[in-house]
């Protein structure tokens, strides 16, 4: 680690000040990875501050009888271990003053020392407004109420309730696995307009219970909770409590349990709601139970349990890894890496003490930023399906708070920051080169463009073999994969009932013929109706005889007999219309792709540079194609059920039918497969994907086009 900077140019501002910690400040000791830390707590303002051992050694010696400069010189002369430099002292004292933990004797000197206090307050307000997604407003002090219900808290947080919690979660998991399809299906309507009110009411109740969980654990282990307020989470007002009292807990498991307390309560409620939902037949009660289950489980996993955001999971990870102020340290570490290794600044202090800590901080800093962008973008896209204007407002706020403002701060830091005074030219050159390179990459450098579409292999000539007459399979004459000629018998069936009907019909015809001959001699006036009846009976016998002949299933064309389950048909009853398999011509195949409305026009509007087909199971082998042909009429029928949701594909299908009808119009594009690759069997119905390579375009223009397509598709903009 590099040596710290001992002297600072602004030291004169505080050297003559007399300061001391407030008498009401309480101090507790904590160990992180074997390193001793001190936590300062001001009970009147409920402020906490964590100091390292070396920094606390200096702060604890502050008193009104000695100036800051004299104390620092005295400790420097005593060769105190890890003595903080003048810059560190200025920063720490400013932060302690901001937390209202310092008492000062000379108001004039103090005003000079903390002249940037007003600026910090303005920055705090600005940060709050910029962080409007998670704005917090304190409301009242719940400490007195928690003291009254302390016996209830002790009962809820006990070994007995742990057993109850585990049993309830286990039962809920059982019901969840049994109803997994119904759970996923109902999730699609969670943001429907008629469900929003119930969803929000459920969320308020659940989050109130969540915050009660945090407060209960804090109270259980002797802490105090003095703030209950409203947090605007993604513009929705929800309750929150200030559980920072857990910072003073010496045992790590107590601090971890405080962080997990809200989720423990939520998961218990989610389990109860899932059990109720699974056992209700329907109605508002079932809908309410599902909303409670969804929010108490899904939202908890996305936000609270995820350590990449500053919620419960973040503080749990900080305690488990013994890394206090994890996010701040991650930002400072990335800043150090950029300053030292990219900008070449030498007089900077490393944040991480080990390679493991350096990796953790760097990975966390990058991953948390990327995750927040992806999560908020996904939420905005989901909301936009129902509330376009609200999603646009949220998108603008997200862009300003997470992209525009940080970029502006970075530009100001590089161009005017005092830390880079000695390397400013290099820093500006590298920074603007990187920004220019990114802009060039996105908007000037052509990149291969195109899109993929799912599809299936289909023989150009094939016939479906179906049962024309019901019966029982007696014998299979042709096995799967055999070459057959047109008219070859594939299997034989028998139908004893059909034989009896034929005998009965023949007897009826014989009787009618006898009656006709008798009428010829005795009652000629009856001959006409008898003749008509005889004609009908003979037609019915011909139909029965045709059904009898159809018990021999024959090949409709010459080709390969394709029926994987043919052996299972023996002694099986088949009904008229049942499909037995296919007879297909193995000489020529097409790959039939399903293309959306947004993409089909690009195949012919842009210059097509190539078509690549890859089948499942042989993803690294490319098949060559020719004669690309698009059916110019939109349809709703898939060429194979395997491409729809019900068959494991990714194309949305309608709820009715057999999974062949698509939810949105599609176009079919046929590409003839030319060369035969023996390593890739071209089986009829085998699924895969085709990539249409188009004219190269910069990534930025491709992104703009996709956004425009999405707006036109969903909002007709």
H or E element, residue 538 = helix 527-549
- In whole angstroms, what is the distance from residue 326 CA to residue 333 CA? 10
Q: Which residues on neighbouring strands pair with residue 138, listed in sequence order?
A: 229
Taking a C-beta distance cutoff of 8 angstroms, is the pair 354, 322 a contact? no
Q: Please determine, for residue 620, whether its predicted confidence score (pLDDT) is greater than 70.
A: yes
Question: pTM of the prediction?
Answer: 0.61
Q: What's residue 386's pLDDT?
A: 66
Is 178 buried (19+), middle (13-18) or exposed (0-12) by CB count in 10 A?
exposed
Q: What's residue 116's pLDDT?
A: 41
Strand order in the sheet with 462-466: 462-466, 579-584, 559-562, 483-484
Taking a C-beta distance cutoff of 8 angstroms, is the pair 230, 282 a contact? no
DSSP 3: P
pLDDT tens sequence across 488-501: 888 888 888 888 88
Q: Which two tokens stand for residue 240?
A: 């929150």
Q: Which residues on neighbouring strands pair with residue 415, listed in sequence order?
A: none
| Number of residues written out for the chain | 717
Q: Which residues on neighbouring strands pair with residue 159, listed in sequence order?
A: none
Q: Please determine, for residue 131, whether its predicted confidence score (pLDDT) is greater than 50.
A: yes
- In whole angstroms, what is the distance from residue 49 CA to residue 59 CA? 12
462 pLDDT band (50/70/90 cuts)? confident
Angle between helices 424-443 and 405-416 (to 10 degrees): 150
Q: Which two tokens stand for residue 255?
A: 């601090």
Q: State mean pLDDT over 100-128.
A: 53
Q: What is the end-to-end Cα distance of the chain in Å, rounded? A: 56
Who's near 314: CB < 8 A, 6+ residues apart? 307, 308, 326, 327
Q: What's residue 45's pLDDT?
A: 64
Q: Which two tokens stand for residue 193?
A: 């307009």
Taking a C-beta distance cutoff of 8 angstroms, is the pair 296, 273 a contact? yes
**Which range is least confidently modeled, 246-255, 276-285, 544-553, 642-651?**
642-651
Q: What's residue 111's pLDDT?
A: 47
Q: What's residue 173's pLDDT?
A: 92
Domain locations in the chain?
Answer: 11-128, 131-320, 464-582, 588-715
Top mean pLDDT of 100-114, 473-487, 641-655 is at 473-487
Top mean pLDDT of 81-85, 118-122, 221-225, 401-405 is at 221-225
Q: What's residue 544's pLDDT?
A: 87
Pairing of strands 661-673, 625-630: antiparallel
Taking a C-beta distance cutoff of 8 angstroms, is the pair 341, 350 a contact? no
Strand order in the sheet with 236-241: 134-140, 228-233, 236-241
Q: What's residue 9's pLDDT?
A: 64
Taking a C-beta distance cutoff of 8 angstroms, is the pair 506, 545 a contact? no
- In whole angstroms, what is the distance from residue 544 CA to residue 560 CA? 30
Nearest to 621 by CA among 684, 694, 681: 681
Who's near 234: CB < 8 A, 6+ residues apart? 133, 379, 394
**164 phi and psi angles, rounded to 5 deg:** -60, -40
| 3 state SS of 664 | strand
Q: What's residue 217's pLDDT?
A: 92
Q: Please determine, for residue 613, whether its predicted confidence score (pLDDT) is greater than 90.
A: no
Q: What's residue 134's pLDDT?
A: 56
Q: Please determine, for residue 623, whether its predicted confidence score (pLDDT) is greater than 60.
A: yes
Q: Which two tokens stand for residue 207?
A: 């989050």
Q: What's residue 267's pLDDT?
A: 92
Q: State mean pLDDT over 384-400.
A: 75
Taking a C-beta distance cutoff of 8 angstroms, is the pair 570, 452 a contact? no
Going through 656-698 in order, the beta strands assigned E by DSSP cover 661-673, 687-697
DSSP 297: I
Top mean pLDDT of 84-88, 379-383, 426-430, 701-705 is at 426-430
Q: State mean pLDDT over 370-395.
A: 76
Buried b (16+ CB within 10 A) or exposed e, 16-32: ebbbbbeeebeeeebeb
Between 530 and 133, the higher pLDDT residue: 530
Share of the chain above pLDDT 70, in %: 87
Q: What is the CA radius of gyration of the chain?
A: 39
- In whole angstroms, what is the distance from residue 672 CA to residue 678 CA? 17
Architecture of domain 11-128: Alpha-Beta Complex (3.90)
- In whole angstroms, what is the distance from residue 709 CA to residue 310 CA? 35
Taking a C-beta distance cutoff of 8 angstroms, is the pair 314, 327 a contact? yes
Q: Please determine, for residue 140, whether its predicted confidence score (pLDDT) is greater than 70.
A: yes
Largest CA distance in the chain: 147
Q: Please identify which residue in the block is written with the tokens 């966390």.
A: 364
Between 662 and 423, the higher pLDDT residue: 423
Q: Which residues on neighbouring strands pair with residue 471, listed in sequence order?
A: 574
**520 phi and psi angles, rounded to 5 deg:** -60, -30
Q: Please determine, for residue 93, whether its predicted confidence score (pLDDT) is greater than 70.
A: yes
Who's near 278: CB < 8 A, 6+ residues apart? 175, 176, 178, 179
Q: Please identify which residue in the block is written with the tokens 């407030």.
A: 22
Q: Please identify which residue in the block is written with the tokens 């309480």.
A: 26
Q: Which two tokens stand for residue 452?
A: 């993929």
List Cα–Cα distances, 45 to 22, 48, 151, 226, in angstroms. 12, 9, 27, 9
- In whole angstroms, what is the distance from residue 664 CA to residue 653 CA? 8
Strand order in the sheet with 35-42: 26-32, 35-42, 47-52
Q: What's residue 34's pLDDT?
A: 67
114 pLDDT band (50/70/90 cuts)? very low
Q: What's residue 105's pLDDT?
A: 59
Is 375 buried (19+), middle (13-18) or exposed (0-12) by CB count in 10 A?
middle
- In whole angstroms, what is the distance from residue 73 CA to residue 75 CA? 6
Buried b (16+ CB within 10 A) or exposed e, 668-692: bbbbebeeeeeebebebbbbbbbbb
Helix and strand totals (H; E) in the chain = 22, 24
**474 phi and psi angles, rounded to 5 deg:** -100, -40
605: left (phi over 0), alpha (psi -120 to 50) or beta: alpha
Can you spell out the DSSP letters for 486-527?
TT-EEEEEE-HHHHHHHHHHHHHHHHHHHHHHHHHHH-GGGH
Q: What's residue 113's pLDDT?
A: 40
Taking a C-beta distance cutoff of 8 angstroms, is the pair 49, 100 a contact? no
- In whole angstroms, what is the distance from residue 506 CA to residue 510 CA? 6
Q: What's residue 107's pLDDT?
A: 46
CA atoms within 13 A on the CB side of 675: 8
404 pLDDT band (50/70/90 cuts)? confident
Q: What's residue 270's pLDDT?
A: 92
577: left (phi over 0), alpha (psi -120 to 50) or beta: left
Top mean pLDDT of 141-155, 312-326, 581-595 is at 141-155
Q: What's residue 174's pLDDT?
A: 92
pLDDT tens sequence across 438-450: 888 888 888 888 8
Mean pLDDT of the chain: 80
Q: What's residue 558's pLDDT?
A: 85
275 pLDDT band (50/70/90 cuts)? very high
Taking a C-beta distance cutoff of 8 angstroms, is the pair 360, 321 a contact? yes
Q: What's residue 679's pLDDT?
A: 63
Q: Please determine, for residue 108, whether its predicted confidence score (pLDDT) is greater than 50.
A: no
Q: State mean pLDDT over 418-430.
A: 86
Angle between helices 252-279 and 312-320 (to 10 degrees): 140
Q: Please determine, for residue 304, whether its predicted confidence score (pLDDT) is greater than 70.
A: yes
Q: Which two tokens stand for residue 176?
A: 């969840």
Q: State mean pLDDT over 521-550.
A: 85
Can you spell out the DSSP letters for 256-274?
HHHHHHHHHHHHHHHHHHH
- In whole angstroms, what is the distance from residue 378 CA to residue 355 CA? 34
46 pLDDT band (50/70/90 cuts)? low
């Amino acid at each position: 680690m590099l040596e710290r900077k001992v002297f600072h140019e602004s030291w004169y501002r505080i050297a003559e000040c007399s300061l001391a910690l407030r008498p009401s400040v309480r101090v507790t000791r904590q160990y992180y990875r074997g390193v001793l830390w001190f936590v300062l707590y001001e009970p009147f303002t409920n402020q906490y501050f964590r100091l390292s051992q070396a920094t606390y050694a200096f702060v604890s010696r502050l008193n009104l009888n000695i100036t800051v400069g004299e104390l620092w010189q005295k400790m420097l002369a005593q060769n105190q271990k890890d003595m903080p430099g003048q810059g560190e002292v200025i920063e720490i004292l400013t932060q302690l003053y901001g937390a209202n933990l310092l008492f000062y004797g000379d108001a004039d000197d103090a005003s000079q020392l903390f002249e940037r206090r007003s600026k910090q307050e303005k920055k705090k307000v600005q940060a709050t407004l910029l962080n409007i997604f998670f704005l917090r407003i304190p409301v009242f002090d719940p400490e007195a109420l928690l003291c009254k219900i302390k016996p209830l808290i002790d009962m809820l947080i006990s070994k007995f309730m742990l057993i109850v919690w585990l049993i309830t979660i286990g039962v809920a998991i059982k019901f969840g696995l049994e109803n997994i399809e119904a759970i996923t299906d109902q999730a699609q309507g969670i943001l429907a307009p008629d469900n929003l009110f119930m969803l929000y009411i459920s969320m308020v109740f659940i989050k109130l219970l969540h915050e009660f969980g945090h407060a209960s654990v804090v109270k259980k282990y002797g802490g105090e909770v003095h703030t209950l307020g409203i947090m605007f989470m993604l513009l929705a007002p929800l309750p929150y409590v200030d559980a920072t009292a857990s910072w003073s807990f010496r045992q790590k498991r107590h601090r971890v349990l405080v962080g997990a307390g809200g989720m423990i309560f939520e998961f218990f409620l989610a389990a109860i709601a899932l059990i109720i939902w699974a056992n209700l037949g329907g109605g508002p009660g079932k809908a309410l139970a599902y909303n409670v289950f969804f929010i108490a489980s899904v939202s908890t996993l996305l936000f609270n349990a995820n350590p990449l955001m500053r919620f419960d999971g973040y503080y749990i990870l900080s305690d488990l890894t013994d890394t206090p102020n994890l996010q701040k340290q991650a930002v400072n570490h990335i800043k150090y890496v950029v300053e030292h290794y990219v900008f070449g600044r030498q007089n900077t202090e490393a944040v991480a003490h080990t390679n493991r800590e350096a990796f953790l901080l760097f990975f966390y800093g990058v991953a948390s930023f990327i995750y927040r962008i992806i999560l908020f973008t996904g939420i905005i896209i989901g909301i936009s399906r129902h509330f376009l204007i609200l999603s646009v407002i949220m998108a603008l706020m997200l862009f300003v708070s997470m992209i525009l403002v940080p970029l502006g701060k970075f530009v100001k830091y590089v161009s005017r920051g005092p830390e880079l005074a000695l390397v400013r030219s290099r820093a500006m050159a590298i920074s603007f080169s990187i920004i220019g390179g990114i802009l060039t990459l996105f908007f000037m450098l052509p990149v291969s463009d195109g899109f993929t579409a799912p599809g299936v292999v289909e023989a150009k000539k094939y016939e479906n073999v179906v049962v024309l007459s019901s019966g029982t399979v007696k014998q299979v004459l042709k096995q799967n994969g055999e070459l057959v000629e047109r008219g070859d018998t594939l299997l034989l069936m028998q139908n004893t009932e059909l034989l009896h009907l034929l005998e009965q019909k023949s007897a009826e015809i014989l009787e009618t013929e006898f009656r006709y001959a008798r009428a010829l001699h005795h009652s000629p006036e009856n001959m006409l109706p008898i003749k008509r009846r005889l004609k009908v009976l003979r037609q019915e016998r011909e139909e029965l005889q045709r059904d009898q002949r159809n018990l021999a299933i024959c090949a409709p064309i010459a080709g390969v007999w394709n029926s994987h389950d043919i052996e299972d048909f023996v002694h099986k009853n088949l009904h008229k219309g049942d499909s037995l398999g296919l007879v297909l011509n193995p000489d020529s195949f097409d790959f039939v792709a399903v293309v959306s409305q947004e993409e089909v026009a690009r195949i012919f509007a842009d210059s097509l540079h190539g078509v690549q087909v890859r089948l499942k199971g042989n993803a690294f082998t490319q098949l060559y194609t020719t004669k690309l042909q698009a059916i110019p009429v939109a349809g709703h029928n898939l060429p194979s059920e395997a491409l729809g949701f019900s068959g494991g594909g990714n194309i949305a299908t309608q709820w009715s039918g057999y999974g062949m009808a698509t939810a949105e119009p599609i176009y079919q594009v046929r590409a003839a497969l030319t060369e035969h690759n023996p390593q890739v069997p071209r089986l009829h119905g085998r699924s895969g994907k085709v990539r249409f390579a188009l004219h190269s375009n910069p990534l930025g223009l491709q992104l703009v086009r996709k956004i425009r397509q999405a707006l036109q598709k969903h909002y007709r903009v």
